[in-house]
Amino acid sequence: MIVSNVPSEPTAQKEVYTPPLPLDGFSTEEFRSRRKALRETYPDGILLVRGSTEREFTGPLPYRQNSAFYYLTGVQTPGAFLVMLPEGVPPHVGNTGLSKQVREILFLPARNPSWELWTGPKLGPGEETQRLTGIEATLEAGRLWGLLTTWLSYCATLYVVAPYGEEARFSPDYALIERIRQMAPTAQFRDLGPGLAKLRMIKSPAEIERIEQAIAITDEALQAARNLIHEGDGRYEYEVEAEVLHTFRRHGAVLGFAPIIGSGINATILHYTDNRKRMENGETVVVDIGAQVGAYTADLTRTFIVGGRPSERQREIYATVAATLKHLVDSYRPGVDSLDDLNRRCKAFLKEHPLRVRSAGGEEQTLDTFMPHGAGHHLGLDVHDVGERYEPLQPGAVFTIEPGLYLPEERIGVRLENDYLVTESGLRELGNALSVDVELE
């Protein structure tokens, strides 16, 4: 690692580097329609969406724009902001140089070749960026604070992404709210998260196509993982992980989330990611992976047998999980079922199943006891994408179904997961993933 000697105050130099294109191959209209829909959802206030900073990515993972900002702009540049103004707020006050008709402004850090030598080229404000992004106007990020204070004097209602949870007070979104509160004490904050989540739940054809691309790569990685696992004992979980990473990167994809490669007792740990154990013949191996392509993530899970020869007990458990998945897909009711409905139906199916398993204390129990997680989740820009669990899934929603059974006393774990699109007539499995029955054939 080279130690940076770049001065604390970057000096302007002749431009050398060309920044990467925004939008990841999507059309400008794709993002323009999203911004328009969000403005129509919250027409009574100023909308401010914060982009991620590089400081939020201090570990080994590369920078990734936060999903809310990317969804509305397609811009990956760190330290950016998007402002959308309602009618009645003049964008041209404060010597902005903007016309009276402008309603959306992208704020970007000014480009500087001295820094770009170390961090790579970045998109900066200017007419070319406006053309590439389809956003009406761009300004230098440092101008946001003064202009926002002025705009808030015309409209005190400010919509932001509100932080939630135990760590909310330590989040960048909370820091943003506090900074604005100090500058404009009369600002009235509102959360744009629910409206944005509702928009993100319904995927466009272009989004569905991107998810299917990610699924195709993930499926190829699953087949590579199966081939290695079937070679028999002596291999390690991290060797399977290496096959997955190799497949992803060979196709230009990155990890959508940390790979789960759990063999034996590790197959019963829901989010096991150490991937260090030596795999032994006859063990079940849960492989839960997802490639990310153009910011969109797949999420598939298959369970394989080391050596490829399942025992009768493993066949019994595996077949039950496969039957549960099929039941949930076949029984889905368009326009009626929510994720919560599917989860309750999944638990009921397992509870009514004649198969029984003994607990650690030797007590015979129904199978629903051994599935501690939900039956599925929304999928999109995030592997656990935003969305409502208790409202009926509408056409265009994409989600996973992932039943599983985890028997620590028997060192057997089985999980099967596919990705589905809601249509008017039912569910359509996205992609053409490896058959869930492959280990039973």
Domains 23-200 and 202-440 share a fold: no
Lookup: tokens for 413: 């774990």
Q: Indicate the angle between helix axes 28-41 and 193-201, nearest 10 degrees.
A: 140
Domain 202-440 has CATH 3.30.420.40: no
Instruction: Report d(CA 52, CA 54) in Å as an integer.
Output: 7
The per-residue pLDDT string of the chain (441 residues; one tens digit each, 9 = 90 and over) reads 565 555 555 444 455 678 889 999 999 999 999 999 999 999 999 999 999 998 887 666 788 999 999 999 999 999 999 999 999 999 987 667 888 889 999 999 999 888 888 888 999 999 999 999 999 999 999 999 999 999 999 999 999 999 888 888 889 999 999 999 999 999 999 999 999 999 999 999 999 999 999 999 999 999 999 999 999 999 999 999 999 999 999 999 999 999 999 999 999 999 999 999 999 999 999 999 999 999 999 999 999 999 999 999 999 999 999 999 999 999 999 999 999 999 999 999 999 999 999 888 888 999 999 999 999 999 999 999 999 999 999 999 999 999 999 999 999 999 999 999 999 999 999 998 999 998 887
Annotated domain spans of the chain: 23-200, 202-440
3-state secondary structure the chain: CCCCCCCCCCCCCCCCCCCCCCHHHCCHHHHHHHHHHHHHHCCCCEEEEECCCHHHCCCCCCCCCCHHHHHHHCCCCCCCEEEECCCCCCCCCCCCCCCCCCCEEEEECCCCHHHHHHHCCCCCCCHHHHHHHCCCEEEEHHHHHHHHHHHHHHCCEEEECCCCCCCHHHCHHHHHHHHHHHHCCCCEEEECHHHHHHHHHECCHHHHHHHHHHHHHHHHHHHHHHHHHCCCCCCEHHHHHHHHHHHHHHCCCEECCCCEEEEHHHHHCCCCCCCCCECCCCCEEEEEECEEECCEECCEEEEEECCCCCCHHHHHHHHHHHHHHHHHHHCCCCCCCCHHHHHHHHHHHHHHCCCEEECCCCCEEEHHHHCCCCCCCECCCCCCCCCCCCCCCCCCEEEEECCEEEEHHHCEEEECEEEEEECCCCEEECCCCCCCCHHHC
Q: What is the pTM of this model?
A: 0.93
Token pair listed for 198: 């509702």
What is the bridge-based pairing of β-strands 104-108 and 137-140?
parallel
Q: For domain 23-200, is the CATH number 3.90.550.10?
A: no
Residue 151 φ/ψ region, left for φ over 0, alpha for ψ in the -120 to 50 degree band, beta for the rest: alpha
Q: Which of 192, 185, 198 is nearest to 162 (CA)?
A: 192
